[in-house]
Structure 1
Amino acid sequence: MTQFEANFDGLVGPTHNYAGLSYGNVASLKNASASSSPKQAAKQGLKKMKALADLGMVQGVLAPQERPDVYSLRRLGFTGSDAQVLQAAAKQAPAIFQACCSASSMWTANAATVSPSADTLDGKIHFTPANLTNKFHRSLEPQVTGNILRATFNNSDYFSHHQHLPDNEHFGDEGAANHTRLCGNYGETGLEIFVYGRHAFDTSKPAPKKFPARQTFEASQAVARLHGLQSENVVYIQQNPDLIDQGVFHNDVISVGNQNVLFYHEQAFSNSDAALQEIKQKFSGNNLHFICVKTSEVSVEDAIKTYLFNTQIITQANGDMVIIAPTNCQENPAVSNYLAKLVTQNTPIKEVKYFDVKQSMQNGGGPACLRLRVALNESELAAVNPHTLINDQQFELLNTWVDKHYRDELKVTDLSDPQLLIESRTALDELTQILDLGSVYPFQQI
């Protein structure tokens, strides 16, 4: 049976903004409070989705969260009409208000962890939304994320959906941003690699000192149990604490895997030799490629700045792999030179394609942050909500929808405008009809 790896990209929402909310995310903090362009950001994302679909990839789209999150503001004691809630929160608690306006759901790599049917005991694809407890603004996402995933993968014969882990820092879970999978073909049993930042119940173990380690070992273990993964098909690796302190807030900022390729920086992992040896021992496919980028070739600073490892690696129909990179990589001499050399070497990676996703990059996420990977066979793909798959028709519909509803420019001060909330809800209500999602947002369920 034919196997695919589908990429489901998060659609940038109509209130896309820069609020500098992620302590430990250098790019996010650098661009705090700058004006954003929701329309440009959404169109950049859609253009990347369409380009991958045109390359023959299975490409889907996941709806954004509703923001501002008036419901969370009401839980925090703000009362009155929606307009009164927005204006009171913006005036009395601006930091909390900005958190409830976050555009962070666009980084779909943090939406969930996904295990393909080839890896799971019951032979279904399993989804666990990330609880994202380390950041208040992201901890608001899991419930609606779960709704959107269930509406997208809506056939219980093929898909199993779990509740997110308990909302506690001991089980801090950042989803696929700290998870990757190595395999031969996508339909074969793979090796699922969970990368964590710290042990929550054993503080004697190494941990970063400056920035928080968002993923815990215990959360990774819990997701593996929920998904019915066998121990021989799982590897747990600790991320290098020193790199977290340098701004490598997720593993996908410093390494990425695809099929039989693990592409990583030499400083990525703690106890790297032992971790890589375990991967070699457990990997069941052929011709495993470790592509290690030396510090002398690309510094950690340049890797973070350009998001070299937050690129997508995709496999084309002919078996060759292509790196989908942000234009920031092309503009950095060290990174550009490295990638030009990489495609000439004896690895499956034969080409680099550059995309302009600067609206996302400025808020702290590259191409790989924008997508959730789902390995599917033909029957599973047929069970996916077809309206969420990108083709010529859906691409045109979504671009027209963006043109109709999105603002060209948005300042942080615009977020308390009651009209923006009305515009956003009108847009999202129409989007759920385009994508045939049903009532996934709280405002639709009143």
Structure 2
Amino acid sequence: MPHLSRDKTTWLTYAQLGLWGFFLYGFGPVVPLLRDEQGTSAAVAGLHSTGIAVGAILGGALFAPAARRLGRGPATWLGLAGVAVGVTALGLLRPLPATIAAVAVIATFGMMVISGVSVLLTAHYGPAAPAALTEANAVGAGMGILAPLVIGLTVNANLGWRPVLAVEVGLIALVALAALTFRVRLPKGTPAAAAAAGPVGVTTPAAADPVVPSLAADPALVAPAPAAPDGRADDRAAHRLPRAYWIAWVLMSVTGSIEVCLSLWTADVLRTHAGLGAGGASAAVAAIVCGMFVGRVVGGRFALRWPPVPLLLAALTVSLVGFLVFWSAPVGWLAVTGLIVLGLGNALHYPLALSIALAAAGPGADKAAGWSSYSMGVGFGIAPVALGWVADGIGPHLAFLLLPGFIAAAVLLTLRLGRALRAPAATPQPLAAAS
């Protein structure tokens, strides 16, 4: 069983992802408040998610060249600096086009943070990367618990929602100061050995030469690719992303749709169906993030012991149970209980799919991380706007019935991904299971 030994680099990357989580999970409760402030419909307010989608696409396109030119660590810090600038703009601007543009800027640099942390931890931990990524996302969820609570407090105190943005900028400055004080530097490149490692429970070719872990249904899609002398993998291999990666990519789009719809519109359902006020509904969104935090802390241990596909199917089942409790609850406390269960299931969706996708990419991890951001862009750009459009016609409560459809699609994709991961075992190559 792989061992997860945490060092200064680990804790710094965890903190960086936590800073992004603070904004992401705090922005969801802000959208209904922005809608009230700007006097728009649910569908129009949902265009902020389109801004996030556009930013995700731009951030995904920018990360790989930024990592090649600056190194992975500096590119991640660049992402955080851009988030701070965008958050400041969001706090100062009022018109709808300006707030959408500010959100797009934040998402652009936020995706660079996500991509940087993902490839740094994948390279740093190899077979233990699923557990490390799950823990990193647990920190992100943990920080995300605070943001809705801060918003609820400031709204109830008649201060509005903007003070939470000042807290975000202050936290970014604090983490940067801590990194300077304790002299923690993120690596610029990736050792070849780290690029050759696969995730827990995934079968990889056992060979003396460093090769890309073959996770695709067709092993010919992934060719052996020794690392370049400067520590970067051969660019030709980076262009060949296997079939399993693309299945995981679609899966991340679907599960991302589940998460962003919950983030943006849960407060509306709590206000219209469960009887909570604006401040209470905004604060109650933290219940989802609280469940995600617990799920990722516990799930990190499970990821060291269980293959990712069965674990992902179990997580999707828990999400469905939590959704049914939340959606059918006529009172606030029961709806919040359902949200906690829903968060427990959602906790493992993205980390497990991402760890499989990056391991499948092998030396093309930088490019794969960028493309993974595009998957989030698809989910963030389409699903919330569609849900908002339906909600304008039939109300947010009935519109939320789209989410079980997303969960069912995610189950089917996970089953397909499991078949793609098992397929290499039928090839004549000698095999060894990652322990």
The one of the two structures with greater contact order (alpha-carbon pairs below 8 A, sep at least 6) is 2
Smaller-chain TM-score range?
under 0.3
Higher helix share: 2
TM-score, normalised to structure 1, is 0.24
Higher strand share: 1
TM-score, normalised to structure 2, is 0.24
